[in-house]
Structure 1
Amino acid sequence: MGGCAPKMSGTVTSRSLAWVSLLAATVTLFWSYTLPTVEFTQLASEPEIYSIWGGIEMLWLDDTPVLAAIVFLFSMVFPIGKLLVLSALLRRPRHAPAPQRTLLWVELLGKWSMLDVLIVGMFVGSIRLQLGPSVQLARGESHPGIVMFAGAIVISMLCTRLTARCSSPRGRGTGTEAGAPPPSAPGVPSASPERAPRAELPARLVSLAAGASLAAGLALPLFAVSKGFIFRNEVQLPATAWRMLQEQELVLAVSLLMFVVTLPVARSLNALWLRWRGAGPRGYRLAAALDEWAMLDVFALGLLVVSIKLEQLATTALLAGFWFTLAAAALAQLDAWMLRRDARRF
Structure 2
Amino acid sequence: MSERNTMRSWAHKKGWVIPILLCVSLTANILALILPFLEIDEVFHAKVIYSLPHSVHLMWEHKLYIISFLILGFSIIFPFVKISALFAAWFLPWKSTTRATFLHWIELLGKWSFMDIFVVILLLALTNKQTMITSKIHIGVYFFVGAITLSMITSQIILGIARKIVAEEEGEHTYCPKRHWMLFEQLYIGWTVPLLVIVSAAALIDSIHATFLRISQFLLISRSYSIYDTIELLQANKHWVLFIIVVGSMVFIPLIRLALLFVIWIIPMKVKRHIQGKMILEAMSRWSMLDVFGIALFLVASEGKDLVKTEIQPGLYTVVIAIGLSYLLGFVAVTLHSVMIKFATSHQDEVL
Residue of 241, 263, 273 corresponding to 1:273: 263
What per-residue deviation string (whole Å, max 9, x for no partner) do you get for residues 103-160 of structure 1?
1101111111111111112211221143xxxxx3322211111111111111111111
Q: Which residue of 2 aligns with 1:184?
A: none
| Partner SS state of residue 180, structure 2 | coil
| Partner SS state of residue 46, structure 2 | coil
Q: Which residue of 2 aligns with 1:154?
A: 149
Q: Structure 1: any 5+ residue segments left out of the alignment?
A: 131-135, 181-188
Q: What's the TM-score once normalised by structure 1's chain length? A: 0.83
> Is the Cα–Cα contact under 8 Å of residues 207 and 319 in structure 2 kept in the other structure?
yes
Residue of 219, 225, 238 corresponding to 1:248: 238
Q: Which residue of 1 aligns with 2:315?
A: 321
1:40 equivalenced with 2:40 (yes/no): yes
Give, in angstroms, the shift of residue 3 of structure 1.
6.2
Q: Which residue of 1 aligns with 2:65?
A: 65
Q: Which residue of 2 aligns with 1:339?
A: 333
Q: Which residue of 2 aligns with 1:103?
A: 103
Q: Which residue of 2 aligns with 1:90?
A: 90
Give, in angstroms, the shift of residue 313 of structure 1.
2.8
The 2-side partners of 1:191 and 1:139 are apart by 62
Q: Which residue of 1 aligns with 2:279?
A: 285
- Cα distance, 1:129–1:338 mapped onto 2, change above 3 Å: same
Give, in angstroms, the shift of residue 328 of structure 1.
1.1
What pairs with 1:207-226 in structure 2 (closer than 5 Å)? 207-226=197-216
The 1-side partners of 2:267 and 2:161 are apart by 33
> Is the Cα–Cα contact under 8 Å of residues 17 and 162 in structure 1 kept in the other structure?
no
Q: Which residue of 2 aligns with 1:168?
A: 163
Q: Structure 2: any 5+ residue segments left out of the alignment?
A: 1-7, 184-188, 342-352
Give, in angstroms, the shift of residue 321 of structure 1.
2.2
The 1-side partners of 2:239 and 2:59 are apart by 24
Residue of 267, 290, 300 corresponding to 2:294: 300
> Is the Cα–Cα contact under 8 Å of residues 169 and 175 in structure 1 kept in the other structure?
no
| Partner SS state of residue 10, structure 2 | coil
The 2-side partners of 1:264 and 1:169 are apart by 26
Give, in angstroms, the shift of residue 295 of structure 1.
1.0
The structure with the greater share of residues assigned to helix is 2
- AA paired with 1:128? N
- Cα distance, 1:64–1:126 mapped onto 2, change above 3 Å: closer
| Partner SS state of residue 50, structure 1 | strand
- Cα distance, 1:191–1:88 mapped onto 2, change above 3 Å: farther
The 1-side partners of 2:71 and 2:63 are apart by 14
Give, in angstroms, the shift of residue 340 of structure 1.
1.3
Aligned residue pairs total: 324
What per-residue deviation string (whole Å, max 9, x for no partner) do you get for residues 39-80 of structure 1?
122345422222221121222233333222222111122211
The 2-side partners of 1:319 and 1:274 are apart by 36
- AA paired with 2:10? C
> Is the Cα–Cα contact under 8 Å of residues 214 and 224 in structure 2 kept in the other structure?
yes
Q: Which residue of 1 aligns with 2:10?
A: 4
- Cα distance, 1:225–1:324 mapped onto 2, change above 3 Å: same
What pairs with 1:108-187 in structure 2 (closer than 5 Å)? 108-130=108-130, 136-169=131-164
1:237 equivalenced with 2:227 (yes/no): yes
- AA paired with 1:112? W
Give, in angstroms, the shift of residue 95 of structure 1.
8.8
| Partner SS state of residue 101, structure 1 | helix
- Cα distance, 1:309–1:245 mapped onto 2, change above 3 Å: farther
> Is the Cα–Cα contact under 8 Å of residues 96 and 165 in structure 2 kept in the other structure?
no
Give, in angstroms, the shift of residue 275 of structure 1.
4.4
The 2-side partners of 1:284 and 1:63 are apart by 43
| Partner SS state of residue 37, structure 1 | strand
Q: Which residue of 1 aligns with 2:180?
A: 195
What per-residue deviation string (whole Å, max 9, x for no partner) do you get for residues 11-38 of structure 1?
x62x322211111111111111112211
The 1-side partners of 2:319 and 2:71 are apart by 20
> Is the Cα–Cα contact under 8 Å of residues 121 and 256 in structure 1 kept in the other structure?
no
- Cα distance, 1:105–1:190 mapped onto 2, change above 3 Å: farther
| Partner SS state of residue 134, structure 2 | strand
The 1-side partners of 2:175 and 2:120 are apart by 38
Between 1:229-238 and 1:315-324, the stretch displaced more is 229-238
| Partner SS state of residue 232, structure 1 | coil
| CA-atom RMSD in angstroms | 2.9
> Is the Cα–Cα contact under 8 Å of residues 125 and 240 in structure 1 kept in the other structure?
yes
Identity of aligned residues (%): 20
Give, in angstroms, the shift of residue 191 of structure 1.
9.7
Give, in angstroms, the shift of residue 232 of structure 1.
1.4
- Cα distance, 1:56–1:254 mapped onto 2, change above 3 Å: same
> Is the Cα–Cα contact under 8 Å of residues 37 and 50 in structure 1 kept in the other structure?
yes
Between 1:285-294 and 1:108-117, the stretch displaced more is 285-294
